[in-house]
Amino acid sequence: MASDSRLKEQLPDLTDRIVETYTEVGTINHLGHCPLPKHEVIVSVVDDLMDILFPGYRRREGLHIGNVTYHVGDLIDGLHDKLTTQIARALRHEERNGRRGVDPCAEPRDHEADGQRLAIAFLERLPDVRRTLATDVDAAYEGDPACRSRDEVIFCYPGLEAIAIHRLAHELYRLGVPLVPRMMSELSHRRTGIDIHPGATIGDHFFIDHGTGVVIGETCLIGNHVKIYQGVTLGALSFPRDEQGNLVRDSKRHPTIEDRVVIYANATVLGGKTIVGHDSVIGSNVWLTAGIDPFTTVVMEKPNLRVRQFAPETPASPSERQKV
């Protein structure tokens, strides 16, 4: 069936109507000459960083102690340039948001210099990030009897990828870099199904088993040797507002989980005043909105199961059962 060329005549009018919304609805478009951080570059940055954190496991093969310095040096050099530009763009965008009506792209402030300073400060923290991640690998290996080696953790465990990207994003967050840490955490979220806000503070030997559906909020404080399972939410109980009704964004909204706590699948722990004491266990499907003392176990009471078996009126023959 031939297409009707007359139908295409309405497309210019449609284009005009779409463009009109760019002035009517001015909060969901970014027009002008002040570039934002670029998604594809942030993905590249994360992949380069993961290559540095876990050399030999990802893109580059044949690494050994004789050539790894050149390989890492090349990655660091590229990351310096990428991060300097992307952080500068994020700083410029934040300034624009904070000063409506002012075009920071036309101002003399050198965002590139700030971007470079922050990029180098971040890269300086990579050795310590690696040391902490080594404890996370150990926690996964020692905490999962199905795991055969630490290599398996690095290759196969989404929880490790999520915490690795989080630890990187958290360092940028601590340095005050806007937007880029959230872009990194949402990349991790899409890849692993694990949603960790870059503001969350997480101790060493952290293990997320299985992982999918885990949510950890911005102001969470998590101690050392903590283990959580799939579907766990560490969230906010409510959102405080100021006298004008606006959300208060800098308050402690999410729980504190002390050392050596285990939280089983689909448990929900809410509230900035909720403290789960050390060496405690939170059972599956628990809904917790108040703090508990150390060495406490919280479980749901066993549900009353009802099992009903229906017998067919006429017993089926073996051949009929096989068909079913």
Q: Tens digits of per-residue pLDDT, 191-212?
A: 999 999 999 999 999 999 999 9
Location of structure tokens 């690998």: 137
CATH 2.160.10.10 placement within the chain = 213-305
CATH 1.10.3130.10 placement within the chain = 32-193
The answer for residues whose C-beta is within 8 angstroms of residue 184's C-beta and 6 or more apart is 42, 45, 46, 165, 168, 169, 172, 198
Model confidence over 115-173: pLDDT tens digits? 999 999 999 999 999 999 999 999 999 999 999 999 999 999 999 999 999 999 999 99
**213-305, which class in CATH?**
mainly beta
Cut 0.75: pTM above it: yes
Please, which residues bridge with residue 244 across strands? Answer: none
Please give the CATH topology (third level) of the domain spanning 32-193.
Answer: serine acetyltransferase, domain 1 (1.10.3130)
CA dihedral 287, 215, 273, 301 (to 10 degrees): 10
Please, which residues bridge with residue 215 across strands? Answer: 195, 233
Model confidence over 74-126: pLDDT tens digits? 999 999 999 999 999 999 988 877 655 556 566 656 799 999 999 999 999 99
